[in-house]
Amino acid sequence: MVEEDSRTVLEAVAESACLAAQQRGQKARALWLPPLPEMVELAGVVEPMGSLKAAVGIIDRPYYQRQDPFVLDFNVGGGHVALCGGPRSGKSTALRSIVASLAATHTTEEVQFYVVDMGGDSQEILSRLPHVVGVAQKKDLGRVHRVFDEVTALVEAGLPHDGRHTFFIIDGWHALATNCEDEVERVTRIVADGAAAGVHVIISTQRWAILRPVIRDLIDYRLELQLGEAMDSLIDRKAQQKIPALPGRGITPEGESMLWCLCSAQDIAHITTISADQPPVSELKVLPDFLPYTDLRYAEGEIVVGIGGIHMASVRWDSDHLLCIGAHGAGKSTALRTVLAGITQRSPRQARVVLVDHRRAHLGAVPEQALAAYSASSLATAEALRNTAITLKERIPGPEVSAEQLRNRSWWEGPEIYVVIDDADLVDPAALAEIVPFIPHARDVGLHVVVAHKSGGINRALYQPFLAGLRDQIPAVLLLDADKEEGAICGMKPMAQPPGRGRWLEQGTEPITIQVASVEKAVERETVGGK
C-alpha cells in the first residue's frame, strides 16, 4: 500500500532545496542578523587599530546588517572619555576593558596608566600590567592624593620627549567628589590642560548631573550604559529607553546600541605575559611611613618639617606661625620636635625658644643656650608667657621710630622669639592671653607662635581669643589624622592618616600631603647603629 504524500509542491521543492544546500555546505544570506549576545570576550574584539585607538565592544547596526567593532579614538579632540551608567551597569568592567585593550595593542613606551578606584577593589588587578604606574583605592586616600600629584606634575611638564601618552582613570566620580573635594579642582585643570601634555582622562559616573559642567563640556567622548532614569540621558533618551537591563549594554555617542566587551583575569594575565619583554613603567612614588630627620635636604637657616607635594620635595615652614592639629597619636609632638630641631640650628643670637610642654614630651629637645624659658605647669607657663610679653612690649615701635627704622626693623636688637606650645588645649586661656595683643604685630617684634592642638573640638576652639588671633594671621596649618565628624578644619577635610602623615597648607598655596620627619626615631637609629 502506497502512503499518500500530503505535502504541497512548494513544500516539497523547499525541502529538497534545503537538503541539497545542506549537503553542499551552503547557507542562504540572512536578512536580519541575530541580536547582540549577552557577552563578548575581550579577545574577540581587540586587534591593532592604530595609535591611541582601542576596540572595546561591538555596535549593532541592523540597518546596514552589520555588527562592527566599537573603537575609541583618543586622537580626537582632547582624547577624554566620560562613561555614565547606573549601579551594576558595568562601568568598572568597561573602564578595565579600555585599559586592557590599549595595553594589548601598545607598548609601555607608548602608553602608561594611573588608576583611581573609588568604587572598591575591582581595578586592583590592573596593577599586574607593566603599563600601569599605580592603582589607588578609596581606602588609601593618601595614595589617591599621590596619583593626583604625579598626574598634575605630568600636565605641568608638558608633552614628554619620548611621546608617551598617559591615561588617568577615575572609577567612581561620585565617591571622589565626596571624599576628595579638594581634588575636583585638579581634575578640572587636568582635563583642560592635559591634551597638550598627552594626558587623557577617563571618568565613570552614576549620573551626568554630579559631573561638573566645566569638566563635562571639555570631554569629547560621552558614553552611556543603562541609566537609572532614561530621561537623564545626554545622548538620546529614546535610545536609552531601549537598552536591555544587562551589564555592558549601552549606547555610543551617536545613540547606536552597543555591547562592551568583558575583560577577565585571564585577559589581564595574557596581556601581562605577552608584554613581559617590555620595560615596565615607573612605579607610583608614595610617601614613606617613617622619615628620619637626617634624610631631609635643606639649606642653612631653613626650617623643614618633612617631604611631600607634587615632587615629594622638602617642605619648608616659611610663614610666621604654625598651627598643628590632630587626634591623639597623630604625631603632633613629633611635628613640633622636628620644628624645634630646625629652630635650634640657628644660633641663640638669632632664635630663642619659649617652650610650653605640659606633658613633658620635649625634655632636652632644646639646648640650654637656645632656651629662653621652659614650662611644664600652669604656674610656670603663666610666668614664662608674662615675661615674654614684657620683652615683646619693649619691641613695639614708639612715635620716635623713623620710617627707615620701621622699614629695616632696626629699632630693636635681639633674637627672634619662638613660642612653642604643645597640647595648647591643656593651657589656661588666661596665660595665653598675655601674648594675644602681640600676635598682629608679630613680624615687627620678632614673634613666632607654634601651636599643637587636639582635633577634638578644634572648630570651637578656633573662636577663642588666642587661636582666633593666630588664625587671623594666616599661619601654616598641618592637619594630621582627625575624625571626619569634626567637619572642615581651616578649609581642609579631615581624614584617617597614619602617624606623621598630614595635609599642609600655607598662604597662597593649595593643600599638599606630607610626611613629617621624625627627630626621635632618627636619634634612636643613630644610637643603635653606634652600638
Q: What is the mean pLDDT of the chain?
A: 91
Q: Using pLDDT thresholds of 50, 70 and 90, give the confidence band for residue 239.
A: very high
288-328: per-residue pLDDT in tens? 999 999 998 888 888 999 999 888 999 999 999 999 999 99
Cβ–Cβ under 8 Å, residues 113 and 126: yes
Q: Using pLDDT thresholds of 50, 70 and 90, give the confidence band for residue 522.
A: very low
Q: What are phi and psi of 344, to 5 degrees?
A: -75, -5
Q: Which residues are annotated as a binding site?
A: 85-92, 326-333
pTM for the model stands at: 0.83
What b/e sequence results for 324-352 when a residue is b if at least 16 CB atoms lie within 10 Å of its CB, and e otherwise? bbbbeebbbbbbbbbbbbbbbebeeeebb
User: Lowest mean pLDDT: which of 22-36, 157-171, 393-407, 451-465?
Assistant: 22-36
Q: Say what the pLDDT of residue 406 is.
A: 83
Grid cell for residue 1 = 500500500
Grid cell for residue 529 = 647603629
Q: Say what the pLDDT of residue 527 is.
A: 36
Answer whether residue 529 shows pLDDT above 60: no
Domains in the chain and their CATH numbers?
40-275 (3.40.50.300), 293-395+414-516 (3.40.50.300)
Beta bridge partners of 371: 353
384-412: per-residue pLDDT in tens? 999 999 999 999 988 888 888 888 888 88
Q: Say what the pLDDT of residue 31 is.
A: 66
C-alpha torsion sign, points 196, 197, 202, 203: negative
242-259: per-residue pLDDT in tens? 999 999 999 999 999 999
User: Lowest mean pLDDT: which of 17-21, 149-153, 344-348, 373-377?
Assistant: 17-21
483-508: per-residue pLDDT in tens? 988 889 998 889 889 999 999 999 88
Helix (H) or strand (E) holding 389: helix 378-395
The angle subtended at Cα 460 by Cα 459 and Cα 463, nearest 5°, is 95
**Whole-number percent of the chain with pLDDT over 70:** 96
For the segment 353-369, the average pLDDT, to the nearest whole number, is 95
Q: Which residues are annotated as a binding site for ATP?
A: 85-92, 326-333
435-466: per-residue pLDDT in tens? 999 999 999 999 999 999 999 999 999 999 99
